[in-house]
Amino acid sequence: MPRRSLKTLAIIAVVLLFGCVFVVYRFLSHKGPRPGTVLDEARQANRPASSFVAADEDYFHDMDGGIPLTPAEVKGRNTWVLWTGGNDRFWDAIGVTSLGSLDLLKTISSFPNPISGNPNDKMNFNRDNRWNYLGLVNEPCFEKPPGPDPERFGLWLDKRIVSPECPPDPFENETKYPGVRIGSRGQTLPQGQANQHLPKDKKMPVGSFYGYATGIVGLRLFPNPAFDAAAAQKWDPEKYYSDPNYYYSKDLIRPYRVGMSCAFCHVGPDPLKPPADPEHPKWENLNNSVGAQYFWIDRIFDWKADASNYVFQMFHTSRPGALDTSLVSTDNINNPRTMNAIYNLGPRLEQAKRFGKETLGPGSIDNKQLNDYVPAGDPLAQFFVPPNTVYSPRVLKDGSDSVGALGALNRVYLNIGLFSEEWLLHFNPLIGGKVVTPIEIAVARKNSSYWEATEAQTVNMALFFLKAANPHRLQDAPDGAKYLNNGNPDDAPYVERVNKGKVIFAENCARCHSSKLPVPDSPKKIYDAKGCAGKDYLQCWDEYWQWTKTEEFKSKMRAIVTAPDFLDGNYLSAEHRVPVTLLQTNACSPLATNAIRGNIWDNFSSDSYKDLPSVGSIKVYHPVTGEEQSYSLPGGGRGYTRPASLISLWSTAPFLLNNTVGTFNPSPSVEARMQSFQDSIEQMLLIKEREKDSVLGDKVPGVIDRTTTRCYLRVPSGYVPEGLKGWGETLFPSIVGEQGIEIGPIPPRTPVSLLANLMVRPEEMGLWDRLGHDRKVLHLVLDIKRKFKELGDNPTDAQAQEVLKPLADQLMALSKCPDYVVNRGHYFGTGRFGDDSHLSDQDKRDLIEFLKTF
């Protein structure tokens, strides 16, 4: 045999041997339970799903405009506002994974004293400024604590007001809604520190399965079952607030865990009944449909809001009201998206019957459907046709949750921590780097009582939103009429302007932003195939898009839009999948990988979604030089965005899928909303120029999110493994010290997503391609190490920028989303960036007057 062949065989043999050894090592070294083998805490305590009954008290009757609800709808609203499904376990665990940055027990506190040895170092928030600083909704009937609560382990938690206007919280009734008795719950606790403030009976409470109210809507308080006798003896509430060496510890066990309901991300001030003081709302001022438009995720997920910490800088790329929903089960793409408002669910479901046909496959077929709960012949029984066809609305912005309305709702509960015992086994939370595997509905149904209880309750949530998720019209808001021609909307010249705006909307906007669309004279595949999801989608889409440019479409659409009932029952979105090549918006949302085949949400996306073709290539821009480059988008579901609904557009600014276009105003008043709307819509239509990048200016079409100051990657000492502390300080004194690990500096104006979007572990690569990728990542790490070494001690920001600039090419080549301009795209009607439908400024202003009426 030739020597070259022998050499090749030898190499193959070595590689195979290495591969076998690696597989055996991974198998033998696996720590902890394997997916599919764990039970949730409720199952461990022998609690069946039937024991978690939906609450029936109409306690929130003043919310949502005071709309009357049936008993089933009341239960649906209660589930939305209260049900956490045992996810307090998850939010406690993620506090450790986040290295102490996220601590919801501190978020609900109002501690007034120093939080370190520096007397000026204090918490930035308390109940008095919680809305303005965090954007969180204070629950009515609470007040700021006057001191540590002797009945709550010495914590500075909101105090409930006792008055005729503030009845007791019925959901704290542990007789009617008994909590899960597990661990230390119900057990006697020993006295330890003098100031630890144990309950009067010296027992760890069991509580209700709805937890205790915290004073923040959407967060509920649960006794921590891990807070046993040993933890109680070590508990020191003063140090928990004031001593970083105490509270920054992976071994700290807090007496409570905080659970999160859907309301945390979705309840906000009612646009038609805004609170006089947003720090002190009443229930009548709050609405379940509008979305948390005002919360600051950077200040919530990093309670210290330390700008010198790179983690904060990453969260800071989320504008108020936006959040990367794949943050925990990370796909290593920094992808903040707005919190969805929920409007006109009935018309949205009707639109799903026209364009939302999806084919389910293995795993996704296990999702519950509406007709599992309603009788045959009921209108809600029409959305699933056996054996595997579903007509599905698209809730997520990339249209991936394509398995039916209930599946979309149920998935959210997993994504906020339900059945975390299983969920966290499928990925490395927050940081990634591990092969991601799907969480299976069949496993959740088998091993989680909380999951089964959630499935049983979400149908009532759907019924609630079918009743209550109604539009908020500007004309019905306090003083809203003055923004419609100064209170004279019937003035003839103004009516003519609005009518002109209707025509402009019909010809330019309605093809994506109306659920009332014309019937074509000749067959169109997207109509005939009811959405045409799957491998042939682009052909169907292109045919539809070209048709919308014809006089046939425009004339029919004009008739629909100018009809007096156009807005009645209109979802104001067609819910099509629009290629990002056409939208030109930031591509990181449609590039999300969590729902592609074999990934974490595999069971919550349809086979037809997974078969969607690539949309082609887009322009991206080098974040250091501004050089334009071409990037080919992968297929398999990625590359598309569903158009936003324009319902109540006046109240939902800033705009785009990440809230990057327009000025944010923290006040929920009608006046403030209209100021933000006017600025945002003028930027959308380029009457005003959008914000430019602080470094590259006109070289790129918008803003690149950059670090605002010099920052570092930090691991506090309490989270550094014991074995690393000693020898780490000796071998790596520039990185490991008494305060923990500190890597940097990362200079100001560094593109945040250049680091955050690094493809640590690629999907859909074969062995050889993956080895090649890993080699590139290794070279990058070594280059980074060498560059930091070149910096020496105490480099200037300018020196750090110059030394790290050459790394940008490598980072961009290894990026999962190399599109860094966040406020680009949706140039329709501007005649710029390739758009061919230029409107005059007067046309745009007439269009705006019509949009105000939505």
Q: For residue 181, which amino acid is it?
A: R
Q: Is residue 300 part of a domain?
A: yes
Query: How far is Cα 326 from Cα 328, in angstroms, rounded to an integer?
Result: 6
C-alpha span between 435 and 421 (Å, rounded): 18
Residue 707 reports pLDDT greater than 90? yes
Per-residue pLDDT averaged across 395-422, rounded?
A: 96
What per-residue confidence (pLDDT) applies to 744?
82
Q: Which two tokens stand for residue 709?
A: 């100051």
Asked if residue 797 has pLDDT above 80, the reply is yes
Per-residue pLDDT, averaged over 107-130, amounts to 97
Tokens found for residue 190: 């020993």
Q: Give the side-chain half-sphere CA count within 13 A for 465.
A: 24
Q: Which residue has the higher pLDDT, 193 or 853?
A: 853
Q: What is the pLDDT of residues 359-387, one digit of tens each?
A: 999 999 999 999 999 999 999 999 999 99
Taking CB atoms within 8 Å and a gap of at least 24, the contacts of 11-20 are: 19/767
Candidates 799, 23, 70; CA nearest to 460 is: 70
pLDDT at 791 (0 to 100): 77
Q: How far apart are CA 204 and CA 181, in angstroms?
A: 10
- Does pLDDT of 8 surpass 80? no
**pLDDT above 90 covers what percent of the chain?**
83
Q: Is residue 68 within 8 Å of residue 400, measured between CB atoms?
A: no
Q: Which of 732, 743, 756 is nearest to 710 (CA)?
A: 743
Does 221 have pLDDT greater than 90? yes
Contact predicate 108/221, CB 8 Å = yes
Q: Domain for residue 672, yes or no?
A: no
**Overall average pLDDT of the 39-45 stretch:** 98
State yes or no: pLDDT of 729 exceeds 80: no
Please check the confidence at residue 96 and state whether its pLDDT lies above 60: yes
Question: 424 near 90, Cβ under 8 Å?
Answer: yes
Is residue 733 very low, low, confident or very high in pLDDT (cuts 50, 70, 90)?
low
Is the pLDDT score of 7 beyond 60? no
Model pLDDT, residue 724: 64
Residue 316, token pair as written in the block: 């800071």
Contact 265, 222 (CB under 8 A): no
500: CB partners within 8 A, 6+ apart: 843, 846
Domain assignment of residue 142, yes or no? yes
Q: Residue 399 gets which letter from DSSP? A: S
Q: Could you tell me if residue 507 is inside a domain?
A: no
Residue tagged 């005649």 (tokens)? 831
What's the DSSP call for residue 718? B
pLDDT at 61: 98
Ranges 198-207, 288-297, 609-618: which has the least confidence: 198-207
Assess whether pLDDT exceeds 80 at residue 142. Answer: yes
Domain coverage including residue 314? 52-328
pLDDT tens, 256-308? 999 999 999 999 999 999 999 999 999 999 999 999 999 999 999 999 999 99
Element (H, E) at 411: helix 405-415
> pLDDT, tens digit, for every residue of 170-183?
999 999 999 999 99
**Residue 521 falls inside a structural domain:** no
**β-bridge pairing 617-621 and 389-391:** unpaired
- Is 666 within 8 Å of 132 (Cβ atoms)? yes
Cβ pair 646, 572 in contact under 8 A: yes
Q: What is the spatial distance between Cα 805 and Cα 797, in angstroms, rounded to a whole number? A: 12
Question: For residue 656, with 0-12 CB atoms within 10 Å meaning exposed, 13-18 middle and 19 or more buried, which class applies?
Answer: buried
Higher pLDDT, 792 or 299: 299
Query: For residue 317, is pLDDT > 50?
Result: yes
Q: How high is the pLDDT of residue 765?
A: 79
Give the count of beta carbons closer than 10 Å to the beta carbon of residue 8: 11
pLDDT-wise least confident of 29-33, 476-480, 808-812 = 29-33
302 within a domain of the structure (yes/no): yes
Label residue 14 by pLDDT band (50, 70, 90): very low
C-beta separation of 829 from 840 below 8 A: no
Domains identified in the chain, total number: 1
| Predicted local distance difference test score (pLDDT) of residue 728 | 61
What stretches of 292-419 show up as alpha helix (H) in DSSP? 297-301, 310-315, 345-355, 405-415
* Measured distance CA(575)–CA(693) in Å, rounded: 32
Q: Which 8-state DSSP code applies to residue 631?
A: E
CA distance 65 to 285: 8
**Cβ 214 vs Cβ 158: under 8 Å:** yes
CA 564 to chain centre: 37
Q: Within a domain: residue 124?
A: yes
Determine which of 100-104, 166-170, 775-779, 808-812 has the lowest per-residue pLDDT on average.
Answer: 775-779
Residue 450 has what pLDDT? 98
Contacts (Cβ under 8 Å, ≥6 apart) of 552: 520, 521
pLDDT tens digits for range 319-360: 999 999 999 999 999 999 999 899 999 999 999 999 999 999
What would the mean pLDDT of 670-697 be, rounded to a whole number? 97
User: What is the pLDDT at residue 472?
Assistant: 98
Through-space distance between the first and last CA atoms of the chain, rounded to whole angstroms = 78
Express as a percent the part of the chain with pLDDT over 70. Answer: 94
Q: Which residue has the tokens 């029919």?
A: 556
Q: What is the mean pLDDT of residues 753-771?
A: 85
Residue 210 maps to a domain: yes
pLDDT value at position 725?
62
DSSP for 348-370, please give it.
HHHHHHHH-EEE--TTGGGS--G
What pLDDT is stored for residue 785 in this prediction? 77
Q: What is the mean pLDDT of residues 662-680?
A: 98
Mean of per-residue pLDDT scores for the chain:
92
| CA-based nearest residue to 390, from 377, 375, 378, 372 | 372
Q: Within the chain, what is the greatest distance between any pair of CA atoms?
A: 95
**pLDDT at 216 > cutoff 50:** yes
pTM of the model: 0.93
pLDDT tens readout for residues 534-544: 999 999 999 99
pLDDT band at 141 (very low <50, low <70, confident <90, very high): very high
